Amino acid sequence: MKTYQTDQIKNIALIGNSGSGKTVLAEAMLFNGGIIERRGTIEGKNTASDYRPIEQENGNSVFSTVMYTEFRNKKINILDTPGLDDFCGGVISSLYAADSAVMTINVQNGVEVGTEIHFRHAEKVHKPLILAVNGLDHEKANFEKSVEMMKDRLDNNVILVQYPVNEGVGFNSIIDVLRMKMLQYPKEGGAAKIVDITDDQKARAEELHSALVEKAAESDEALMELFFSNDTLTEEEIRKGITKGLLSRGMFPVFCISAKNNIGVDVLLDFIASEAPSIADMPTPKNNKGNEVKPDPAGPASVYVFKSSIEEHIGEINYFRVYSGKITENLDVVNSNNGTKERLSQLYVCAGKNRTRVPELNTGDLGAFVKLKNTKTGHTLNAPGNDWKFEGVDFPEPKFRTAIKAQSESDDEKLGEALNKIHLEDPTISIEYSKELKQIIVYGQGEYHLNIMKWHLDNIYKIPTTFLSPKIPYRETITKPAQADYRHKKQSGGAGQFGEVHLIIEPFVEGTSEQSMMKFGGKEIKLSVRGKDEISLDWGGKLIYINCIVGGSIDARFMPAILKGIMEKMEIGPLTGSYARDIRVYVYDGKMHPVDSNEISFRLAGRNAFSIAFKNAGPKILEPIYDVEIMVPSDRMGDVISDLQGRRGMVLGMSSEKRFEVIKARVPLAEMNKYSTALSSITGGRAMYTMKFSEYAQVPGDVQESVIKAYAEEEEEE
């Protein structure tokens, strides 16, 4: 294929609700550009996009797919995305790599849950959006209702560029109010026959044309002046206004299609080729140094990897976008994320699973590398001499967690390798090997998301797995001071063991100072600080270890051993076996033996003295609290708040945002299990939420009792 220049390249993401026809539209786009010889179907399991086994089995997209077509001497890169929000990672990374998006609307249903969610994704990254009302050949097509819903639930700046003449069975004619012509399609679809608008449609066409002219004029002051002078605009001027309106998201043009019958797709492609923005029209991205990376074909070569996948018989494939310069085969580059050198020995453009090898790609283009050693999603590759990185895709925080284990212990190592590969393909799935919980915890965007992951483990990687309820990473701490001493003495012939430790523990609160005197059982204990270690714990919080030994009752060389023993008990709290935190320890006295004292003796003495003191210091369980933000339709807000309160949630505030209510709350992680499924049920799938760790807080007394009881029962079973 030919090498396209920067001004000949357009990148679009196909977004929209599941079942709205994105994959079928992509198929028609590739067919019209001559990239494929015949159009596949979802039912036939032979589309260019949904080629993976799970997609063919379920009949919907799970991963984003990179494709391209050629039209009017332009290369249009197409990113077909999943419609279900559980797979939003593919949508978000595709919007990052694209310059604009085409949102498909199922004309039978109008604006659906996924439509609203994808609209918000595009809004967040400020991407221009073209609306394509699809399925106009269906007997239940309702174009007017769909347009009304788009204006009401998406944005009032929705503007018609086309409308159907005869929607429903037999649909084959469209009025194009931009060109003021009628488009008539043969039964097999394809290229439109352009004819004059019939008399019965002229009045409506002129009314919509006037509305389009006014909206185009609003996007540019010079056009507004022309409009006031001439009372209209030429087609060329309208197109200029639409382009500016697209860029500012002040205009969302509506097109009419039947992707299944290849009707209207040619005109949509023509509009994308001529009016959709290219990389040069979009805001210039900045690198991690705060400098703009201009889309200069003559500049230094720089690419960003926005997606990785693993293909059978090939291995890892990295999909990238060229932000500057030219990428050629056998080019030596440096990975700015890890400093390693890579040679780009093979360069491809992709149409789904079909790849075409090319010698070079220019700024703005999308392509794929294979056989790179140390490059993953989110990495930046630069020509030698440049070390900047792009900030990259901002993937959402996980919303759903579960524990997983292989049904056979012999598969444990294979499971770890498979999970790492799955994370490579879908960064919104993350893996934690929790030493604390003794579980592998998998995080994702929803229950269905992780069920699909399990399908891959069971069927592709051939590792039978089981989901388990994930444990909660509780923390333990104390609420009052306590004193304890312990003597470790062991004699068994030869050298013995002897160590005695006296210590005091108290809760540590940031900003408080050490005690100089404490009283226990009517006896005052003087504390003279000789040394202090402040240890920031890996699991959060601190341990303050204070040496108050006077008179040499314990030799300084044994103090690290006592600390080691204390740390061992900090890792296994007495209530639930969870990590302990935020404790200040004073070691103030003890005894040694001139022969039998050694490090192990003082480690054991320190560990046991700390354990006794901990149990007498009002130990409490702390639980992780998350900040939760929920976008919910106004009519479901009461139900959502009621559900949060049932989860021990505390509502912090509410605000409004574009026909949605935003609820901010703090909820214990223990109460968020399967919340994505519950919220979908409560709101009919129309709500979205994010959750982020906030802090640890004490659990209520009744909850603490049940947690301790459950831990004791689990220990007995083991």
Task: With beta carbons less than 8 A apart as the criterion, state whether 103 and 131 touch.
Answer: yes
b/e sequence 319-354, b meaning 16+ C-beta within 10 Å:
bbbbbbbbbeeebebbbbbeeeebebeebbbbbbee
User: How far apart (Å, rounded) are the C-alpha atoms in residues 190 and 179?
Assistant: 19
The one-letter code for the residue type at 296 is: D
The one-letter code for the residue type at 115 is: T
Return residue ranges of the chain for CATH 3.30.70.240.
621-713
Express as a percent the part of the chain with pLDDT over 70.
99
**Is residue 718 very low, low, confident or very high in pLDDT (cuts 50, 70, 90)?**
low
Q: Is the pLDDT of residue 363 over 90?
A: yes
**Is residue 710 very low, low, confident or very high in pLDDT (cuts 50, 70, 90)?**
confident
- pTM to 2 decimal places: 0.87
Question: pLDDT per residue over 218-235, tens digit each?
Answer: 998 999 999 888 889 999
Tracing tokens 């499924």 back to the chain, one arrives at 677
Question: pLDDT per residue over 552-579, tens digit each?
Answer: 899 999 999 999 999 999 998 888 889 9
Burial class (CB in 10 A: 0-12, 13-18, 19+), 537: middle
From the options 3.40.50.300, 3.40.630.30, 3.40.630.10, 3.30.70.20, give the CATH code of 6-275: 3.40.50.300
Q: How far does Cα 319 stand from its chain's mean position?
A: 18
Q: Please give the pLDDT value at position 699.
A: 94
Question: pLDDT per residue over 590-641, tens digit each?
Answer: 999 988 889 999 999 999 999 999 999 999 999 999 999 999 988 899 999 9
Mean pLDDT, range 204-210, rounded to an integer? 96
End-to-end distance of the chain based on CA atoms, in angstroms? 64
From the options 2.40.30.10, 3.40.640.10, 3.40.50.150, 3.10.20.90, give the CATH code of 302-382: 2.40.30.10
**Is residue 313 very low, low, confident or very high in pLDDT (cuts 50, 70, 90)?**
confident
Which class would CATH give 476-618? alpha beta
Q: Please give the pLDDT value at position 595.
A: 85
Fold exhibited by the domain 400-471: Alpha-Beta Plaits (3.30.70)
Return residue ranges of the chain for CATH 3.30.70.870.
400-471
Express as a percent the part of the chain with pLDDT over 90.
86
From the options 1.50.10.10, 3.30.70.240, 2.40.70.10, 3.40.50.11540, give the CATH code of 621-713: 3.30.70.240
Q: Of 273, 306, 295, which is closest to residue 125 (Cα–Cα)?
A: 306
Question: pLDDT per residue over 479-519, tens digit each?
Answer: 999 999 999 998 776 678 999 999 999 999 999 999 999 99
Alpha helices by DSSP H, listed for 515-575, are 559-570
Q: Please give the pLDDT value at position 312.
A: 81
DSSP 3-state assignment of 649?
coil
User: How far apart (Å, rounded) are the C-alpha atoms in residues 418 and 404?
Assistant: 12
Q: Is the pLDDT of residue 717 over 80?
A: no
Q: Please give the pLDDT value at position 493.
A: 67
Question: pLDDT per residue over 243-277, tens digit each?
Answer: 999 999 999 999 999 999 999 999 999 999 999 99
